[in-house]
Amino acid sequence: MTESFILAIDTSCDDTSAAVTSGRVVCSNVVASQTQLHKKYGGVFPTVAKQAHRENLEPVIRAALQKAKITWKDLAAIAVTQGPGLAPALEVGIEKAKELALEKNLPLIPVNHIEGHVLSSLALRPPRRSILATSSTEPQLPALAVVVSGGHTEFVLVKKIGEYEVLGKTVDDAAGEALDKFGRMIDLGYPAGPVIEQFAQQGDAQRYPFPLPMTTSGNANLSFSGLKTAARTFTEKMQADHTLTKQEVYDLCASFQYSVFRAITYKLNKLLPPLLLGQPLFGVWLGGGVAANNILRQTIRRTIRPYNLQLSVPYSKKLCIDNAAMIGVVAGYKLERGEVMRGAEIQSVERLPRFEV
Ligand code: KG4
Ligand code: ZN
């Protein structure tokens, strides 16, 4: 594969990100986090996100090009997240990508953000030498992608790159969202997922048994809102009785995290036997912000081992949380297939806040 540098942009939620990629190789991946801005709201405030994206995007793009040591004339295309995401946030990235594509006379590649998480474990570190073409083999397919983030939790069958089937997804909250909402109940700040992981290490996951949702549904869909409500009722009762001790907070974190992950592995165990009857599977790919969690990784590894399946995770935790490099990886495949927008078509690219993979 020859070098075809892509500048990728993601402004789907509260992180402003730009990256330079070439095929699956990540040359740079710059993320300006807005976490501090949204902390006081206990979640992402869309108009604040939009304003921050407006301020951060240009410097982030400049930094991505600089870190990759390339200039505008080296680029083969510009890629941007089209959706799903927060409409006002998506708009900032899309408008900037369109403007740049037209100004620099480059093709534009709109990308689905979930497809980015699906393919994030295929991203490759840049090799030390200057030529970026790598001898890395293409992944064997089909594979099962498990996307666990703050906005999405789904099982996606990757038939071919670009050809997907959603086998199951959450019918209400996403797993990361449930962790964040639970964290808010016990004042862990935002986002709570990483704090819960840390506190859970010192806690007893069996101390507070929370329910296992969706056991009778018969499909691979997930639900986390019942679990969240059960945890709220239980925690409020405890809080009305006394101020939670440190150990109780640790045990609550461990127990709630365990329950969220058990809901995912329960459905994996339901989904895999019939799936493997119909076709071989060549691996399980984990992506999304919650994929940064080591306990989730261990739990999924343990679940799929009896099926002789290996877990692939992104090479860095920065590729789990929202980032533009994963958008660039998807765009690399689209560029190879010639799926690009040129000239007047570029103006027609609109944000798709509810875009499905
Ligand atoms: O992928 P992401 O950055 O944004 C979405 O596309 O939603 O995921 C953010 C989510 C948040 O809910 C955050 O709490 C969670 O990922 N998260 C984690 C960890 N790191 C981030 N959850 C559990 N353990 C972590 N280490
Ligand atoms: Zn995401």
Residue 131 pLDDT > 80? no
Index of the ligand 1 atom closest to the CA of residue 151: 7
- CA 67, CA 324: separation in Å to the nearest integer? 14
The predicted-structure confidence for 249-284, as pLDDT tens digits, reads as follows 999 999 999 999 999 999 999 999 999 998 999 999
Average pLDDT over residues 186-197: 96
Say how many Å lie between the CA of residue 298 and the centre of ligand 2: 21
Angle at Cα 190 formed by Cα 177 and Cα 186, nearest 5°? 85
Say how many Å lie between the CA of residue 81 and the centre of ligand 2: 10
Let me know if the fold of 5-125+317-348 is the same as that of 143-312.
yes
Of the candidates 24, 234, 42, the residue with the CA atom closest to the CA atom of residue 124: 24
By alpha-carbon position, which residue is closest to atom 8 of ligand 1? 289
Q: What is the pLDDT of residue 132?
A: 54
Contact 26, 182 (CB under 8 A): no
Q: What is the pLDDT of residue 332?
A: 98
Residue 172 pLDDT > 60? yes
Index of the ligand 1 atom closest to the CA of residue 191: 14
Q: What is the pLDDT of residue 40?
A: 73
- CB of residue 289 inside a 6 A radius of ligand 1: yes
> DSSP letters of 311-351?
EE--SSGGGTSS-SHHHHHHHHHHHHHT--B-GGGGGG---
Question: What residue segments make up the domains of the chain, in order of their start?
Answer: 5-125+317-348, 143-312
Say how many Å lie between the CA of residue 193 and the centre of ligand 1: 6
The predicted-structure confidence for 24-45, as pLDDT tens digits, reads as follows 999 999 999 877 777 777 777 8
145 beta partners: 156, 285
- CB of residue 292 inside a 6 A radius of ligand 1: yes
Using DSSP, how many helices (H) and how many strands (E) does the chain show? 10, 10
The predicted-structure confidence for 220-252, as pLDDT tens digits, reads as follows 999 999 999 999 999 999 999 999 999 999 999
In which band, very low, low, confident or very high, does the pLDDT at 48 lie, cut at 50, 70 and 90?
A: confident
Average pLDDT over residues 110-120: 98
Say how many Å lie between the CA of residue 57 and the centre of ligand 2: 17
The predicted-structure confidence for 201-211, as pLDDT tens digits, reads as follows 999 999 999 98
In which band, very low, low, confident or very high, does the pLDDT at 297 lie, cut at 50, 70 and 90?
A: very high
- CB of residue 188 inside a 6 A radius of ligand 1: no
- pTM score: 0.95
In which band, very low, low, confident or very high, does the pLDDT at 105 lie, cut at 50, 70 and 90?
A: very high
Which among 38, 321, 322 is the best mutation to test ligand 1's pocket, defined by most ligand atoms within 8 Å of the CB? 321
Average pLDDT over residues 48-76: 95
Q: Across all residues in the chain, what is the average pLDDT?
A: 94
- CB of residue 293 inside a 6 A radius of ligand 1: yes
In which band, very low, low, confident or very high, does the pLDDT at 1 lie, cut at 50, 70 and 90?
A: very low
Contact 116, 135 (CB under 8 A): no
**Contacts of range 200-203, beta carbons closer than 8 Å, 24 or more positions apart:** 200/250, 200/253, 200/254, 200/257, 200/258, 200/295, 201/254, 202/247, 202/250, 202/254, 203/247, 203/249, 203/250, 203/251, 203/252, 203/253, 203/254, 203/255
Contact 91, 9 (CB under 8 A): no
CATH assignment of 143-312, among 3.40.50.300, 3.30.420.40, 2.60.120.560, 3.40.50.720: 3.30.420.40
By alpha-carbon position, which residue is closest to atom 25 of ligand 1? 194
Q: What is the pLDDT of residue 278?
A: 86
Handedness of CA 91, 94, 97, 101 (dihedral sign): negative
Say how many Å lie between the CA of residue 288 and the centre of ligand 2: 6
- CB of residue 13 inside a 6 A radius of ligand 1: yes
Cis peptide preceding 194, ω within 30 of 0: no
Residue carrying structure tokens 């293409």: 138
Residue 125 pLDDT > 80? yes
- CB of residue 176 inside a 6 A radius of ligand 1: yes
5 beta partners: 22, 75
Of the candidates 218, 304, 296, the residue with the CA atom closest to the CA atom of residue 262: 296
The predicted-structure confidence for 66-78, as pLDDT tens digits, reads as follows 999 999 999 999 9
- CB of residue 154 inside a 6 A radius of ligand 1: no
355 beta partners: none
> Which ligand lies nearest the alpha carbon of 260?
1
Across 14-18, 129-133, 288-292, least confident range: 129-133
Average pLDDT over residues 101-129: 94
Q: What is the pLDDT of residue 350?
A: 93
> Which ligand lies nearest the alpha carbon of 170?
1
In which band, very low, low, confident or very high, does the pLDDT at 49 lie, cut at 50, 70 and 90?
A: confident
Chain center to CA of 126: 21
Q: What is the pLDDT of residue 86?
A: 94
> DSSP letters of 157-188?
EEEETTEEEEEEEBSS--HHHHHHHHHHHTT-
- CA 282, CA 298: separation in Å to the nearest integer? 19
Homologous superfamily, domain 5-125+317-348: ATPase, nucleotide binding domain (3.30.420.40)
> Which ligand lies nearest the alpha carbon of 256?
1
Q: Which residue has the higher pLDDT, 306 or 35?
A: 306
Q: What is the pLDDT of residue 202?
A: 98
Say how many Å lie between the CA of residue 176 and the centre of ligand 1: 5
